[in-house]
Every structure is written in C-alpha cells, then in structure tokens.
Amino acid sequence: VRTTEGRGVNGEVLFNLTLFDASSNGTWVNDNRVGKDKSVPVRQGDRIFVMPSARVGQQEAIGFVVLTAPLLAAPSPAIAGKELHLAKVLTHNVQCRLCKEAPVRKCITAVPCGHNFDLGCLLAWRFESEQCPCCGETIRQGVRNRVVDSVTETFLRARPEVERSALSISLLEAVESSRESVVVLEQLQGGWQ
C-alpha cells in the first residue's frame, strides 16, 4: 500500500492510499481481484487478501483490513503536557466503541465499516443485532486487529495505570469463553453470506 499526500479545499493535509499488486499469486480487495502490476485505491474498512478463503479455505486465508489513524492536533508546549495530551488522544483512539472503555481489549474490527470493539463486547452485541452499534451498517465480518492489540500492549507497558479493571477483564473473558460466543465468533470470522 502506497501513501500519497495532497491538500484539501481548506488547505488541510489529506492522504490517499493505493494498493499496488506486485504479487505472483494475485491480490484481492473486497473480493475483487486487482491484477498483477495494477493499482487500486483503498480506504478505511477495505479488506485486502493475498490468500483468499475461496482459494485456500477459511483457516488458511491471509488478509488485512485497512485502518487509518486520525492526524493528531498539536499538543500543549510543555513536555509533560505533551505526554499527557498524547496519552489521552491514544486512549480515546483505542477505546471500545461499544462500552467506551479504554484501552480496547482483544480488538476486533467490524467489516466493512472499520469500527473497533472489545472482542467480548462485540460478541455480546451480536446476540442482539447484526448492525454496527456505531453506524448501523450490517457487519459482514469481524477481523481480529492485531495491530491495535500491539499498540495497546506497548501503550500499557508505558502507562500501566490505564489498564482496565480486573472486573472488566473478567467480564469480557466470561463472554469470550462461552460456547455461544465461540459460535458467533466463528460466524464473524468466516463472514456472513
């Protein structure tokens, strides 16, 4: 994926993402084959597969979801103030969009809208609805977001005081480990037909 920078109407910095298929086996964006040496624009929530499940089966599929992070506004001038500001921004950006707790735990990204949730929260929500609780769009698939998990782990090593409470973690783990949730998770990861 390549990034190009441009300017919006009001002079704001804009970034465009383009996927260039340099693979020998092909690349798919949202179930459409790109084609060797061809480019397609990609945006938030797009699914990119280098090994689609239609060819190799669900367990062997290799894919990614396009996520974008917002540009951060300039923090206050004091060093301590900058650190606190950045910690608050990061905490806000890695919170579960359902329960609003941060940092997100075992992040799962809803496809195609790209909203992030705690795995346990989205599993519990799916018992009630197939629509994203943020935007109302039908969730076709849920993809574990290991990049957000890695950012969260790094952040927690630097700021252990923002770790979720033991009660919150145990509630999420209870939902994640129930038999019913395992079935819902398999459906989410396999995509709704």
Q: Could you tell me the residue range of the domain that residue 139 belongs to?
A: 79-190
Considering the domain architecture, whether residues 52 and 146 belong to the same structural domain is answered as no
| Lateral strand order in the sheet of 141-144 | 116-118, 107-111, 141-144
Considering the domain architecture, whether residues 32 and 115 belong to the same structural domain is answered as no
Considering the domain architecture, whether residues 151 and 95 belong to the same structural domain is answered as yes
- Which is nearest to 40 in space by CA: 49, 31, 29? 29
Q: Is residue 154 part of a domain?
A: yes
DSSP three-state, residue 90: helix
Other beta carbons within 10 angstroms of residue 69's beta carbon come to: 11
Summarize pLDDT for 19-76 with one digit per residue, the tens.
Answer: 888 887 788 888 888 888 898 888 877 888 887 667 777 777 777 777 766 555 444 4
Q: For the domain that residue 186 is a member of, what is the CATH number?
A: 3.30.40.10
Considering the domain architecture, whether residues 177 and 91 belong to the same structural domain is answered as yes
Q: Domain total for the chain?
A: 2
Q: How much is the pLDDT for 76?
A: 43
Considering the domain architecture, whether residues 98 and 184 belong to the same structural domain is answered as yes
Mean residue pLDDT of the chain comes to: 82
Q: Is residue 73 part of a domain?
A: no
